[in-house]
Amino acid sequence: MPVAIRDMVHADLAECAWSGSPAHLRAVEKELLLAARDRADYFVACPPSGLPVAKGGITYQLAPGSGTIWQLAVHPALQGLGIGTLLIGAMEDRIRERGCHSAEIRVEVDNPRAQALYARLGYLAFAEVPESWETDDGLYETTLTVMAKHLG
Ligand SMILES: CC(C)(COP(=O)(O)OP(=O)(O)OC[C@H]1O[C@@H](n2cnc3c(N)ncnc32)[C@H](O)[C@@H]1OP(=O)(O)O)[C@@H](O)C(=O)NCCC(=O)NCCS
């Protein structure tokens, strides 16, 4: 199945309910507003239907000179098929185009499978940071492993 990567647009939000709660989608919407002002990037991966089956954002606010990949999610029915790898490759290209020489990914400490994927793609863990975000049930607190990759 061919999968195309493109910039996410506001109309895609309604088709991304599979990726998280309404609170998560509000956070994505905020990032889309920043992307519209050229201060962030947000991508979706779509089969020929054009409907998003994966999505992920890049923020340039967390690490100077680096693009941080976050909010990465592949539709649960389509995980493990290479779509996340494809999306990360496209995101690294955009980070390079913006003149950054490294990419970072933040992933929860208790998600070793995702960490294994990022390690396979060349990311090295170098720090752990506390993080929290609003959910529909209140504030969720966690610890994230920060992983980085030099982009040649
Ligand atoms: C992590 C994720 C983005 C990777 O995308 P993907 O398309 O599934 O990954 P790919 O097919 O390109 O690569 C396969 C690898 O991804 C990882 N992976 C696959 N399914 C996964 C899952 N449900 N959760 C975490 N990692 C997963 C594994 O390392 C896998 O390799 P393995 O099969 O040898 O164990 C995707 O699986 C996902 O959305 N998982 C649930 C949410 C999540 O963990 N997000 C990460 C936030 S940082």
Segment 118-134, tens digit of pLDDT: 999 999 999 999 999 88
Tell me phi and psi for residue 21, to 5 degrees. -75, 170
Per-chain mean pLDDT for the chain: 96
Average pLDDT rounded to a whole number, residues 94-121: 97
Atom of ligand 1 nearest to the CA of 105: 48
What token pair was written down for 138? 């209140």
Segment 22-31, tens digit of pLDDT: 999 999 999 9
Q: What is the pTM of this model?
A: 0.96
What token pair was written down for 10? 């506001």
Q: Is the pLDDT of residue 135 over 90?
A: no
pLDDT of residue 36: 96
Domain edges within the chain: 4-150
Atom of ligand 1 nearest to the CA of 88: 12
CATH architecture of the domain covering 4-150: 3-Layer(aba) Sandwich (3.40)
- The H-assigned helical ranges of 11-144 are 22-36, 83-97, 112-120
74 vs 133: CA distance, rounded Å:
20
Q: In what order do the strands lie in the sheet with 102-108?
A: 4-7, 40-46, 54-59, 66-74, 102-108, 138-150, 124-135
- The H-assigned helical ranges of the chain are 22-36, 83-97, 112-120
pLDDT of residue 134: 86
- The H-assigned helical ranges of 37-98 are 83-97
CA of 60 to the centre of ligand 1 (A): 23
Residues with CB under 6 A from ligand 1: 72-74, 79-85, 107, 111, 113-114, 116-117
